[in-house]
Amino acid sequence: MIRILTTLVVATLFAATLEPAGAQDVLYYKFDAGGGRKVVNYYGHSGIAPLEARLVSQNGYANSTLWATGNPGSALKGSETVGRDVTLVSDCYPQHAGSFTIAFAFKNRRVMTRPSRPELVTAGGGSNLNRFICFINSQANNNLGFEGWASVSSPATLQTTPDVLTPHYSRWVHVAAVFDNATRSVRYYVDGQLADTLSMGNYTARLQAGENPLRIGFGARDGSVDIDEFRLLYRAATASEVQAWAQPSHFAADGRYGTACYPRGRSVLLESNRAQAGLPTPGNGRYALKLYGPVGSTFQLALGTSRTRLFSLPLPLDLAFVHPALSGCVWEADADIALLPGAIGATGEVTVPLPIPNVAALAGFRLYSQALLTNTAINTMMTSNGFSVIVGR
């Protein structure tokens, strides 16, 4: 009986590590921090792409000008002036041969005054064969175009039919392109509705970028295009998925960010129990944070509403001021909600229940957490990664 129980426990633990749902989900940027220069990838748990992206601005943009009001929450801000723009650098080098989906919301806030081709998403470099581009073709009929999507160099450009700029000027519009090798077609959705279906001909889809990582917002030369709710999946999304994404409501999400700090041979990890209990949606009474670390460690788990300030101190903060041995370990969560003490038991983990009240008004609420651990057996201090929770539907 003990053997059977052991086997079951092991099988359960293995299953928990696999997280089969969303295994092909690559990037999901909600841009909801509204400050700082880092953006959490809420699909980072799949392990395909880095947990965080960087915001890079040209020509002296300050942190405060990198963010716009989003749909909902905040969003990546487009350029205010030609030649001044903000780029999200994903540090993800797509290497995928097969169906994929790219979806995002955008808003153009300035009439394009000359023929231009703002590149909203790029990956790779060099020739079209090695460079994926998603652009607005304002030189022609303001449609959305794609280059570098196929397994061969031709056809280099795929252009959708509808004008996505003129009817949607200064308002948010959600677009999704589903490159589906099973049907050899690209299904193009505007605001959740199928707007165009294009044939791939004899070609198959692939995303490959060796030289440059996927970037968003690069080359907004003329228009001022804010971007929000960006998703990349290595699969063909369904029509109902796209329809749901197009709704301007808060989606529940959680994910790791930052880096844990611990000695060789040990491990510290802060995450949620989403694999067992699901996402932080209102009414999810089973939602919890889980902290893993060396047995016997005591911890302080900070819960706060920001990752850009700790009370009055700007974040991220080098913890060298706590102790010189923590030099290089970075703190990235506020503690204005709670500071929870505890200890890690014999199983090397502790669960901190975080039941989400069934209150619709909580949608969009952001919670940032991080733990500071002390272990007398190894005579050291450690920090966990940061963890971001966004309550939503």
| Sole binder of other proteins in the list 1, 17, 59, 202 (CB under 8 A) | 17
Residue with tokens 């003329």: 222
Residues 6+ apart with CB under 8 A from 72: 248, 249, 250, 364
Which conformational region is residue 357 in: left (phi greater than 0), alpha (psi within -120 to 50 degrees), or beta? beta
Q: Is 338 in the site for other proteins (CB under 8 A)?
A: no
The amino acid occupying position 255 is G
| Sole binder of other proteins in the list 112, 175, 225, 381 (CB under 8 A) | 381
| Sole binder of other proteins in the list 128, 271, 317, 330 (CB under 8 A) | 271
Q: Looking at 3-11, 146-154, 179-187, 230-238, which segment touches other proteins (CB under 8 A)?
A: 3-11
Closest contact distance (angstroms) between CB of 351 and other proteins is 11
Query: Judged by CB, which is closer to other proteins: 329, or 335?
Result: 329
- Which positions from 123 through 152 interact with other proteins, judged by CB under 8 A? 126, 130
Cis link prior to 72 (omega < 30° from 0)?
Answer: yes
Query: Judged by CB, which is closer to other proteins: 162, or 296?
Result: 296
Separation CA 110–CA 79 (nearest Å) = 10
Q: Is 7 in the site for other proteins (CB under 8 A)?
A: yes
User: Which three-class secondary structure state does DSSP give residue 322?
Assistant: coil
Q: Is 264 in the site for other proteins (CB under 8 A)?
A: yes
Separation CA 192–CA 174 (nearest Å) = 7
Q: 111 to each of 34, 145, 166, how far by Cα in Å? A: 25, 19, 9
| Sole binder of other proteins in the list 380, 383, 385, 388 (CB under 8 A) | 380
Query: Judged by CB, which is closer to other proteins: 14, or 311?
Result: 14
Residue with tokens 């209990």: 277
Bridge partners for 81 per DSSP: 84
Q: Is 374 in the site for other proteins (CB under 8 A)?
A: yes
Footprint on this chain of other proteins (rule: CB under 8 A): 2, 5-7, 9-11, 13-14, 16-17, 126, 130, 210-211, 261, 263-267, 269, 271, 290, 292, 294-296, 323-325, 328, 345-349, 374-375, 377-381
